[in-house]
């Protein structure tokens, strides 16, 4: 792995983390394009650099949401299904699913179709929740259950939580921002668990790669977040679903 590869990974992560297109799936496919083998370090790297993107949420939402205990209580409820699923399935997912191109492509393809169909039939209710502090605990739990499905590479944590929130009765902007914030405990826990289990075998220069990828993903993610918030004011998520289908079909011929 070279520094140029690290920069590319950081850019891909920053762009895709908060869009409903699966950052993990794109990182795995990027590694395939760059002909980088899915070693244990690469798998950990793909998890760890997501912290850079998460830091962008902390910076952008510090005054408005990060300090609010009422919002954090709801985020913790939404976080719990992923905690339980991660504790039970971490080894299986990292060994058999993470880095599996077929799993990623099928997840991107099926998830894209589902996103398109969902948006065609979804109608936002007039009494949909508009404030983050107005999200109920049952609604937070529903969002968390949807998020836990995103442990499968290619599913997309953002897409899962957004669909879960729309199903639960949140306004579009509200669930997008809730999804941003929910990424903080989710990715912190995922990275901490992975580094705890794997960091002892990393070489010193690999920690430099982690730091560089972290910094790049942080800067790019700030732009990505602002783009998505502006995008949803006028558009649905259908275009992201179409993109997922196209990218899955396109990569299918590359990895086969």
Can you give the pLDDT at residue 205?
72
Q: What pLDDT score was predicted for residue 134?
A: 92
Q: What is the pLDDT of residue 192?
A: 75
The mean pLDDT values, 10 residues at a time, for the chain of 256 residues are 85 92 86 80 75 88 80 94 83 73 89 95 89 93 93 89 95 94 86 69 73 89 94 93 94 72
Per-residue model confidence (pLDDT) at position 140: 96
Query: What are the residue ranges spanned by the domains of the chain?
Result: 3-255
Question: In degrees rounded to 5, what are phi and psi of residue 108?
Answer: -60, -45
Which of 170, 175, 139 has its CA nearest to residue 160? 175
| 129: three-class secondary structure by DSSP | strand
Instruction: Note if the pTM is more than 0.75.
Output: yes
What pLDDT score does 213 carry?
84
Residue-level pLDDT at 6: 86
Q: Do residues 181 and 78 make contact, with C-beta atoms less than 8 angstroms apart? A: no
**What's residue 112's pLDDT?**
95
């Amino acid at each position: 792995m070279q520094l140029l590869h690290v920069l590319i990974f950081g850019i891909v992560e920053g762009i895709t983390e908060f869009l409903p297109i699966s950052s993990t799936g794109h990182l795995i496919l990027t590694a395939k394009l760059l002909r980088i083998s899915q070693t244990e370090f690469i798998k950990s790297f793909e998890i760890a650099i997501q912290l850079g993107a998460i830091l962008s949420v902390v910076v952008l939402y510090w005054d408005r949401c990060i300090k609010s205990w009422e919002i954090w209580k709801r985020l913790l409820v939404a976080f719990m299904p992923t905690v339980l699923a991660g504790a039970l399935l971490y080894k299986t997912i990292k060994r058999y699913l993470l880095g599996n191109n077929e799993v990623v492509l099928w997840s991107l393809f099926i998830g894209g179709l589902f996103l398109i169909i969902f948006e065609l039939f979804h109608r936002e209710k007039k009494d949909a929740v508009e404030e983050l502090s107005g999200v109920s605990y049952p609604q937070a739990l529903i969002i968390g259950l949807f998020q836990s499905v995103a442990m499968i590479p290619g599913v997309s944590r953002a897409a899962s939580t957004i669909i879960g929130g729309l199903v639960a009765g949140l306004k579009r902007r509200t669930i997008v921002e809730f999804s941003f914030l929910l990424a903080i405990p989710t990715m912190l826990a995922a990275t901490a668990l992975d580094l705890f289990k794997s960091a002892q075998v990393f070489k010193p220069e690999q920690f430099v790669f982690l730091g560089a990828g972290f910094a790049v993903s942080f800067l790019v993610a700030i732009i990505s977040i602002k783009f998505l918030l502006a995008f949803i004011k006028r558009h649905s998520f259908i275009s992201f679903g179409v993109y997922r289908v196209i990218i899955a079909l396109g990569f299918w011929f590359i990895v086969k």
